[in-house]
Structure 1
Amino acid sequence: MLCPLCSLIFTDPVTTPCGHNFCHACLQNTWVKCDNMCQCPTCDKTYSPRPEISINTAFKELADTFKNMIIPQKVTPLNNVQPGEITCDVCLAASVQVKAQKSCLVCLASYCSIHLEPHQKVAALQMHKLIDPVADLQERLCKKHDRLLEMFCKEEQKCVCRFCVETEHKNHKAVS
């Protein structure tokens, strides 16, 4: 359900003659420079003359329904993201910016109050570590072990994961 050009849920989707789908504006922006001959951005099939495209109404209804399922119905101006605040990753995928309430260190995602509900109601998700929203969740992972950096090596003055503490930092003083 994501446009391959903008990586967001389709807005006014159009279908090329080769069967690939794009947001109308994304395809128009891609084809703005071509006069008579254009290529599909996905498969590079060439079209001459430029094909006439129109909004795929059936696909638009499907994309709009999907977008409505993802976007919280309770979005208010109070939930809108202000400069310096973190955006809910689920809402962002639907092209909407809603303020995140928490970030999950297990899922490596930030959630608004609506999308945070599963973490509060599902037993397995309740075990996940939630923190105040942060933007750099990927930076909190050990590049070597793909684990959360939850320890600090005092000797090397850097954050490390538990596997690092047991291996290359075995004889170092590490704290939580």
Structure 2
Amino acid sequence: MAAEQQVVSLREELICPVCLDIFTDPVSLQCGHNFCRSCITQCWERDGRTSCPECRAEFADRTLIVNWALSSLAEKTQTLNLNQKVKESKLQCEKHQEELKLFCETDKKLICVICRDAREHRDHRFIPIEEAVENYKAQMKSSMESLTKKNSEIQEMEQLQKTKISGVREQSHSLQSHITSHFNKKRQILAEEEQRLLKDLGEAEIN
């Protein structure tokens, strides 16, 4: 069991976060996250921006660094067929000690062939474990793509709001400068008028 857990743990380290499969031609981004070369280039083409799908960090160029260590591990994993060994590891039903080969879609649980014929699973819908894995894998990928898209939309909205706020601030500063200039001119005119009237008054008193 410990060996099986180590195999699963190792395989998880070799999974691309985009395609959810073992790395193929793994590359590292400037932020340190790793992806299949084809996966990250497709993401960039689809999103129209050079950013990391994991941390959303954006880069000035499309620099991709080949991760030789991951590439070597991925190749060895494929050679040893660890994925197939994990699939062949037999999970047993606690009740009947039979191999769990089916997935009950009604109860959302793994069952054995004896459980399938039990009264509690009567009229339930069953599919092979492999098919259930592929279904959930597709759902996870779709959910990740949806979350990535929503995150991009939120960032675009945030940037738009920042642009609007910056525009409002510029207009406010411009209006403040205009008001200040206008009242300074008014004060100058009033001061000049005051001096003229005082001068006229002084000349009238002399005469």
More strand by share: 1
| Max Rg structure | 2
TM-score w.r.t. the length of structure 2 is 0.41
Identify, as 1 or 2, the structure richer in helix. 2
